Amino acid sequence: AAVTLDTPIEVLIAAEKTKAILDARVPGLTSHPMLDQFKSMSLKQLQSMAGGQLTDAMLEAVAADLASGK
């Protein structure tokens, strides 16, 4: 199945390739001390709670990388 910005973060970090995309595009997300509290959420859901730390540009870059499978 294709992964998107609506895919739960825990699914994205379970796969090496998509975890690497998150590490590159959203530094600190996969090592965040509160990861357990938000890992079941999607990046889109988390953005509204991230106080501006998860920008539209960051999400667009992640979406492009996920779509291209880089």
How do residues 55-69 score in pLDDT, each as one tens digit?
A: 999 999 999 999 997
Residue range 19-60, pLDDT digits in tens = 999 999 999 999 999 999 999 999 999 999 998 999 999 999
Residue with token string 């965040």: 32
Element (H, E) at 47: helix 43-47
> The whole model's pTM is what?
0.91
Residue with token string 């953005």: 47
